[in-house]
Amino acid sequence: MSGVRNLSAALRRARVPRTRIIARPILPQSSCATVLRSFTTSSAARADKQIKYTSDAYPNLKRDSKFAEISADDVAFFKELLGSESAVIDGVTTDATDDIEPFNSDWMRKYRGHTRLVLKPGSTEQTSKVLKYCNDRKLAVVPQGGNTGLVGGSVPVFDEIVINTSRMNKIRSFDEASGVLVADAGVILETADQYLAERNHLFPLDLGAKGSCHIGGNVATNAGGLRLLRYGSLHGTVLGLEAVLPDGTIVDALSTLRKNNTGYDLKQLFIGSEGTIGIVTAVSIICPPRPKAVNVAYFGLESFEQVQQAYLAAKGQLSEILSAFELMDGRSQGLVIESTGNKHPLEGEYPFYCLIETSGSNAEHDMAKLETFLENVMGEGIVADGVLAQDETQFQALWRWREGITEALSHLGGTYKYDVSIPLSDLYLLVEDTKARLTEMGFVGDDESFPVRAVVGYGHMGDSNLHLNVSVRHYNKDVEKAIEPWVYEWIQKRNGSISAEHGLGVAKREYIGYSQNETMVKLMKQLKAVYDPNGIMNPYKYI
Amino acid sequence: MSGVRNLSAALRRARVPRTRIIARPILPQSSCATVLRSFTTSSAARADKQIKYTSDAYPNLKRDSKFAEISADDVAFFKELLGSESAVIDGVTTDATDDIEPFNSDWMRKYRGHTRLVLKPGSTEQTSKVLKYCNDRKLAVVPQGGNTGLVGGSVPVFDEIVINTSRMNKIRSFDEASGVLVADAGVILETADQYLAERNHLFPLDLGAKGSCHIGGNVATNAGGLRLLRYGSLHGTVLGLEAVLPDGTIVDALSTLRKNNTGYDLKQLFIGSEGTIGIVTAVSIICPPRPKAVNVAYFGLESFEQVQQAYLAAKGQLSEILSAFELMDGRSQGLVIESTGNKHPLEGEYPFYCLIETSGSNAEHDMAKLETFLENVMGEGIVADGVLAQDETQFQALWRWREGITEALSHLGGTYKYDVSIPLSDLYLLVEDTKARLTEMGFVGDDESFPVRAVVGYGHMGDSNLHLNVSVRHYNKDVEKAIEPWVYEWIQKRNGSISAEHGLGVAKREYIGYSQNETMVKLMKQLKAVYDPNGIMNPYKYI
């Protein structure tokens, strides 16, 4: 790819052979932090090392004695009900440790539960009967989709029964005129998107785990991802859902209407509830027409001030075709070079990099807008250097400089990850302040004696969403204590969010007070008590 | 304006003098059904006629004896608390009938209450103290914004105290980088939009009542309007809100963050709750950059099949710049001609008309897309005739053919109005079936002896939202009985909504069962009981 002088060349090229402009209907698989390939790599690398039990990592969590223990009779009931061998993984009356393990632990190998029973209901009705039984018997449960979460929300802590949605995986309907898709919760995001691609539509959510995550899980965790900037949050795009409450009540709010003002919009409560008030079994969502043209540009910039200027320019000039504005700092890109050995697309080194994606219905118009934007940001000296993808391969390659960060970090040891929202002007200050603090405390250095290898920042600039990552050579309690709760206090002072898109799970449950006031927490607990009076739904997590 | 042959001429003109293409930052004031000018006209015309009390029109509604009667002591308390003469309109200890009347009745002159007390708190804290007092004393209240609703939701039925938000009318903050506006509930929608226009942004909601309605009321009723198709619903654009619960609790959920996954998204419950669980006192909302170019085209079409084809073509070809797709049937346009005497923009007569608006960041690109679209729909014979606005005057004139329908109807007598969502393919069938039914029953005819003048349909095609209007020479119980509940049953069979955007209020409260199943209604009642155990918030309405 071409360097600073070559951007003008790239622009010239782009102007002439219009056919070379990428016009691809399928968007790339890209990521906030969850590149599932890194799971395989990591697990292979650490195959010898057992994952620590969450109950050991969080000794303040105690199994609540109000919950019943699973008996052989319970297992018999579930086997009879679900009527299929594959629908019940029984570690109660048989030794099924190996089969159960993938459901007990997460892909990051950070959380591990003690469950001995996994149920895979095949329908909403079966889910209803399973939950009602559990509620009556006071058996705790953990709803689980693709198990791709980052906060330990989808795996048990103790012996909670895992209720996995993978067998509910049918697309129920799609209406091309309205763009409304209705599908079971267990449909994999990528499957849904491929189905839509064949019908010239797009799933209005895209994230790195798309090959594994379930759309029900996406809705239950209010997943954000890469193109929220363009298509908005699930609170706006989800038109309806079907869910099962702990007492077995089937909430049929599976409307396919864009407008329906007949009462409280209760479905919203399930969006982002992380399986604590019910299990989402189906989703109705409005999907936009698939863009006919997609472009990607990658820039080097000298300061965060200039990153902000570039963002404002993109918002103003690319406006309706802007579909991603991603930020990566210099250190994060250095780690990708270190980990992959790939040649960086730009010649020089810069403290900041941005990836800008446009998606539109007319390739020529989009390229013209992009060219005007590039001329502006380069002419004004906002951007120091940049490249523009000229074909599909370059398009994918540029996205990998953003996507590859998580994987690069995972190869280099442990990572303390913080997924936060901060008002835009202060977004990167958190990385600088964290680095300064850890450096002052003597934790950061290039040689092996320092616990911290790097403090890096990247994220969804367009959503004010930063991923702060502290890369460590090994996990270190002193480093952890230096970061927490300091980092949360820092965010609270700026009215930010301690969890922008990953949710609370086990990881953030104690810290909710930094982003929600006492009244809000009280109201949330009140709501939880209304829907789940026995507290069987995903206990030890969330609020 | 030009006819069918002239559309090609219009296209040629559009190609040459690019400067003539409209590039206007301010969008027109346009309407679903609420053109407030018609209020003035209608009230002048019917000044001699008293509005019927809602309690008389709905004799099954009885004042609930659990509510206390307002005493002189209560009034003294409120006067002391609010500390301003203008903040309390006291019809309890003084004769203030004339001053109170505008708060007791709605602009359509369909609903009228018996209140003797109007309070206008000047802050969230005052609202909190007012509500706590009312809750303790079991005094029923009606939250009221601009009082522009269509279902009687914002006026009392009996002696409920009106709590009007007009004195909370400050814009609190606007951040140009993120586009997030924070403003008091009592800010008028048009004021908010003008404030944003000066800062190159747009309020992501537009409706006919914008000159009077409050943004708090918009949020409380989940207003839809003209450009939901483009900017999405308030469930997606509202980032946070502040509200007061009946017990005086201030819900401070006024986040300005686009992503914040820290617990249940409780603010969603207030969006569309019509003042039944609390009073919205402030709103935080994400606003898009103001479009630099806006175009309007107006078409005549031979069948509803072709309207659907035109919609699909617009969705596919105008894609990211499509900002409105409005449908008007021939009869509705005939009534506008009859009422205004204006010359219709097209030469011939057609059974269907569409208005298409585009909004984008580049006038040339938008016009090119529009031209391609026009060539396509005219070349394919989908559209029979059409015109394209060439300047601001024509732009406004074309919108008036859509906006003017409500006003035209109001000049011609009474109207039975139904605001419904129906799957797109059946959208217009409701108008045809209603007309056939009323004709068969002998109600429809051209001369004065027939009660029904016309059955017309128009609406937000892009949102599957139809306004079915039955224009009558005078209100007639037999006609009403012929329509209801038949129309609701018709909608229920097609899984539509009996209230797309107007809400429930008094008008639809009994009919919620046609759009929500028993479980949903039960869950809604449960929620109402949690937030408003004394039931003081906007009683006799909603669920």
Q: Which residues touch B34 (CB under 8 Å, ≥6 apart)?
A: B107, B148, B150, B207, B208, B209, B406
Determine the Cα–Cα distance for residues B281 and B295; give it in Å rounded to an integer: 36
Helix or strand or coil: residue B312? helix
Q: Phi and psi dihedrals of A277, rounded to 5?
A: -125, -10
CATH number at residue A304: 3.30.70.2190
Determine the Cα–Cα distance for residues A212 and A521; give it in Å rounded to an integer: 32
Q: Note the pLDDT of residue A359.
A: 97
Determine the Cα–Cα distance for residues B131 and B371; give it in Å rounded to an integer: 56
- Domain assignment present for A273: yes
Helix or strand or coil: residue A368? helix
Which helix (H) or strand (E) element contains residue A408?
helix A392-411
Q: Which of B174, B173, B175, B168 is nearest to B144 (CA)?
A: B168
Written as six digits, the tokens of A308 are 């902000």
Determine the Cα–Cα distance for residues A525 and A542; give it in Å rounded to an integer: 10
Beta bridge partners of A359: A294
Determine the Cα–Cα distance for residues A316 and A293; give it in Å rounded to an integer: 20
Categorize the per-residue pLDDT at A516 as very low, low, confident or very high, splitting at 50, 70 and 90: very high
Task: Indicate whether A203 pLDDT > 70.
Answer: yes
Determine the Cα–Cα distance for residues A216 and A203; give it in Å rounded to an integer: 13
Q: Measured in whole angstroms, how far is the alpha carbon of residue B517 from the centre of its chain?
A: 25
Beta bridge partners of B286: B180
- Domain assignment present for B123: yes
Q: Note the pLDDT of residue A25.
A: 26
Q: Note the pLDDT of residue B6.
A: 44
Section A81-86 average pLDDT: 86
Chain A residues with beta carbon closer than 8 angstroms to that of B254: none
DSSP E strand boundaries for A277-392: 279-286, 293-301, 322-329, 352-360, 385-388
Written as six digits, the tokens of A10 are 């790239």
Q: Note the pLDDT of residue B469.
A: 96
Q: Which residues touch A304 (CB under 8 Å, ≥6 apart)?
A: A351, A352, A427, A428
Determine the Cα–Cα distance for residues B20 and B13; give it in Å rounded to an integer: 9
The answer to whether A532 and A270 are in contact (CB under 8 A) is: no
Q: Which of B249, B368, B497 sits opposite A260 (nearest CB)?
A: B497
Q: State how beta strands A250-253 and A180-184 pair.
A: unpaired
Chain A residues with beta carbon closer than 8 angstroms to that of B264: 269, 272-273, 277, 524, 527-528, 543
Task: Indicate whether A41 pLDDT > 70.
Answer: no
The answer to whether A221 and A209 are in contact (CB under 8 A) is: no
Angle (CA) A300-A305-A309 rounded to 5° is 80
Residue of B nearest to A224 (CA): B259
- Domain assignment present for B410: no
Angle (CA) A42-A44-A49 rounded to 5° is 85
Q: Phi and psi dihedrals of A344, rounded to 5?
A: -70, 145
Determine the Cα–Cα distance for residues A173 and A181; give it in Å rounded to an integer: 6
Residues B149 and B201 in one domain: no
Q: Note the pLDDT of residue B413.
A: 83
Determine the Cα–Cα distance for residues B473 and B414; give it in Å rounded to an integer: 6
- Domain assignment present for B488: no
**CB B421 to CB A260 under 8 A?**
yes
Written as six digits, the tokens of A423 are 């008002």
Residues B156 and B177 in one domain: no
Residues B141 and B176 in one domain: no
Q: How far is A535 from chain B (nearest CA, A)?
A: 16
Task: Indicate whether A8 pLDDT > 80.
Answer: no
CATH number at residue A55: 3.30.43.10
Q: Note the pLDDT of residue B412.
A: 82
- Single-letter residue type at A42: S
The structure tokens 């003098």 sit at B17
Written as six digits, the tokens of B90 are 């006291």
CATH number at residue B194: 3.30.465.10
| pLDDT digit string, tens, across residues B240-280 | 999 999 999 999 999 999 999 999 999 999 999 999 999 99
Section A436-449 average pLDDT: 96
Count the domains in chain B. 3
- Domain assignment present for B31: no
**CB B266 to CB A543 under 8 A?**
no
Task: Indicate whether A519 pLDDT > 70.
Answer: yes
Beta bridge partners of A117: A90
Determine the Cα–Cα distance for residues A391 and A10; give it in Å rounded to an integer: 12
Average pLDDT, chain A: 90
- Which value does ipTM take for this structure? 0.92
Q: Phi and psi dihedrals of A101, rounded to 5?
A: -50, -45
Helix or strand or coil: residue A173? strand
Q: Which of B176, B236, B527 sits opposite A235 (nearest CB)?
A: B236
Written as six digits, the tokens of A322 are 């802007």
Q: Note the pLDDT of residue B50.
A: 85
Residue of A nearest to B318 (CA): A361
Q: Note the pLDDT of residue B414.
A: 87
Q: Measured in whole angstroms, how far is the alpha carbon of residue B342 from the centre of its chain?
A: 26
Is the N-terminal amide bond of B59 cis, ω within 30° of 0?
no
Residues A400 and A315 in one domain: yes
Determine the Cα–Cα distance for residues A313 and A534; give it in Å rounded to an integer: 52
| Final residue belonging to a domain, choices A262, A286, A310 | A286
| Final residue belonging to a domain, choices A345, A378, A407 | A407
- Single-letter residue type at A114: H
Residues A51 and A160 in one domain: yes
Q: How far is B435 from chain A (nearest CA, A)?
A: 24
Written as six digits, the tokens of A188 are 């994999």
Q: Note the pLDDT of residue A515.
A: 97
Q: How far is B203 from chain A (nearest CA, A)?
A: 15
Categorize the per-residue pLDDT at A208 as very low, low, confident or very high, splitting at 50, 70 and 90: confident
Beta bridge partners of B458: B328, B467
**Neighbour-count burial for A124-135, b at 16+ CB within 10 Å, e otherwise:** bebbbbbbbbbb
Q: Measured in whole angstroms, how far is the alpha carbon of residue A224 from the centre of its chain?
A: 6
Q: Note the pLDDT of residue B245.
A: 98
- Domain assignment present for A437: no
Written as six digits, the tokens of B31 are 């309407």
Chain A residues with beta carbon closer than 8 angstroms to that of B224: 259, 261
Residues B57 and B155 in one domain: yes
Chain B residues with beta carbon closer than 8 angstroms to that of A260: 421, 497, 499-500, 515
Residues A160 and A176 in one domain: no
Residues A123 and A71 in one domain: yes
| pLDDT digit string, tens, across residues A227-243 | 899 999 999 999 999 99
Chain A residues with beta carbon closer than 8 angstroms to that of B465: 258-259
Residues A157 and A207 in one domain: no
Determine the Cα–Cα distance for residues B310 and B315; give it in Å rounded to an integer: 9
Count CB-CB contacts under 10 A for residue A20: 11
| Final residue belonging to a domain, choices A407, A423, A453 | A407
- Domain assignment present for A418: no
Is the N-terminal amide bond of A485 cis, ω within 30° of 0?
yes
Section A45-69 average pLDDT: 87
Distance set, CA A96 to CA A93, A115, B326 (Å) = 9, 11, 60
| pLDDT digit string, tens, across residues A456-493 | 999 999 999 999 999 999 888 999 999 999 999 999 99
Angle (CA) B69-B74-B75 rounded to 5° is 110
Q: Which residues of chain B have pLDDT under 50?
A: 1-6, 8-48
- Domain assignment present for A510: no
**CB A524 to CB B251 under 8 A?**
no
Q: Note the pLDDT of residue A456.
A: 97
**CB B315 to CB A515 under 8 A?**
no
Residues A20 and A60 in one domain: no
The answer to whether B428 and B466 are in contact (CB under 8 A) is: yes
Determine the Cα–Cα distance for residues A466 and B386; give it in Å rounded to an integer: 49
Residues B296 and B275 in one domain: no
Q: How far is A288 from chain B (nearest CA, A)?
A: 9
Q: Which residues touch A478 (CB under 8 Å, ≥6 apart)?
A: A443, A451
Size of interface A-B (CB pairs under 8 A): 266
Determine the Cα–Cα distance for residues A214 and A209; give it in Å rounded to an integer: 9
| pLDDT digit string, tens, across residues B407-443 | 898 888 889 999 999 999 999 999 999 999 999 999 9
Domain housing A72: 38-164
Determine the Cα–Cα distance for residues B129 and A520; give it in Å rounded to an integer: 19
The answer to whether A442 and A483 are in contact (CB under 8 A) is: no
Q: Which of A400, A465, A411, A409 is nearest to A29 (CA)?
A: A400
Helix axes B518-531, A518-531, angle to 10 degrees: 140
Task: Indicate whether A29 pLDDT > 80.
Answer: no
Determine the Cα–Cα distance for residues A208 and A192; give it in Å rounded to an integer: 15
Determine the Cα–Cα distance for residues B275 and B56; give it in Å rounded to an integer: 23
Written as six digits, the tokens of A186 are 């267990």
Distance set, CA B56 to CA B53, B112, B157 (Å) = 5, 9, 10
Q: Measured in whole angstroms, how far is the alpha carbon of residue B347 from the centre of its chain?
A: 32
Angle (CA) B11-B12-B18 rounded to 5° is 90
Helix axes B363-379, A363-379, angle to 10 degrees: 180
Compute the Cα dihedral for B325, B328, B330, B335 and give only its sign: negative
Residues A136 and A217 in one domain: no
Chain A residues with beta carbon closer than 8 angstroms to that of B176: 312
HSE at residue A522, side-chain half, CA atoms within 13 A, is: 9
The answer to whether A72 and A132 are in contact (CB under 8 A) is: no
